Amino acid sequence: MTVVSVARAGKPRIAAAYAAAVRRPLDGVPARSATVAIELDISNLRKSYQATTTILDGVSLAVPGGQSVALIGSNGAGKSTLLRCCLRLIEPNGGSIHLLGEDVRALDHGALRRLRAQIGFVFQRHNLVGQLSVLSNVLHGAQARISGPRGWFHCMAPSALRDEAMHCLDLVGLADFAGRRADQLSGGQSQRVAIARTLMQRPRLMFADEPVASLDPSAGEEVMELFAELIRQQGLTLVFTSHHINHALRFADRVVALRGGRIDIDAMSASLDARDLRGVYE
């Protein structure tokens, strides 16, 4: 049975330890479990541009280990900004962010780089280096571990690293494409390579910013199923943004809806249905 067919067999499950701790009714916000560590803890996060455009207006969110969280909301609601602020790809204006126990805003350059190495980030666009081979692109996921040219191009990489990159490619079903130029792949294949690159990081937590928004519905469904299944298999915490309400309900344990830079809904997906979430887009 392939990875994709396993995913198609049913809705991805959440980590068993967390499932018992956090299932709550529609308006219930999960309490911090005594047994499951909080991996992402955001408090009163604010981000605005030029003092007039407020993107995030006091967002607070705690995500325990093993949980899968979908961030939904209309364009400009602050979903992508929230994820980027967590890794300081965008500097927030206020509030605090604790990621894997680290105070993100207090980290110096080196410590921030080491923290980022533990977080996989799948972007809306695959962001591969088109002129390089698929294998070199996957290998880049290990750059925080391997310094210098050994982590830049597969021809210079140690055999063990090349084998690990091939394994990651195999997990996304693209081992046969290792030697091909990345810009010769389809959109769906490219996004699967981007997922393989994050797996190469050996991440403890995964962010995904509308990972299938640039794909056609069929490819998007396939990539999302594969992605969710890999996350489930590895027991990773996942925070992803999406415009697909059905993806949020199907692939996330918890749905957080943003509206105007604030949290509008925060509830377990099992207690929601699509009608509860459509209002977010009105």
- Residues making contact with other proteins (CB under 8 A): 87, 89, 113-121, 123, 125, 127-133, 136, 140-141, 143-144, 147-149, 151-155, 179-182, 194, 197-198, 201
What is the nearest approach in angstroms of other proteins to the Cβ of residue 107? 12
Query: Which of residues 18 and 123 has its CB atom nearest to other proteins in the complex?
Result: 123
Closer of 59 and 193 to other proteins (Cβ): 193
Quote the least distance from Cβ 140 to other proteins, whole Å: 6
- What is the DSSP track for 130-178? TTSBHHHHHHGGGTTTS-GGGGT-GGGS-HHHHHHHHHHHHHTT-GGGT
Question: What six digits make up the tokens of 99?
Answer: 């990621």
d(CA 110, CA 229): 32
Contacts of 192 (CB under 8 A, 6+ apart): 172, 173, 174, 223, 226
Shortest distance (Å) from residue 158 CB to other proteins: 16
Paired tokens of 222: 């396939």
Cβ distance to other proteins smaller for residue 47 or 254: 47
Sign of CA dihedral 222, 226, 228, 229: positive
By beta-carbon proximity to other proteins, the closer residue of 195 and 248 is 195
How far apart are CB 47 and other proteins at their closest, in Å? 17
Give the single-character DSSP code of 182: G
| Residue 203: closest CA among 91, 87, 88, 124 | 87
For the CB of residue 102, give the shortest distance to other proteins in the complex, in Å: 13
Cα separation, 172 vs 128, whole angstroms:
15
Question: At closest approach, how far in Å is the CB of 252 from other proteins?
Answer: 21
Which of residues 77 and 199 has its CB atom nearest to other proteins in the complex?
199
d(Cα 7, Cα 17) in Å, to the nearest integer?
21
The smaller minimum CB distance to other proteins, of residues 81 and 269, is found at: 81
State residue 53 phi and psi, 5-degree precision. Answer: -100, 105
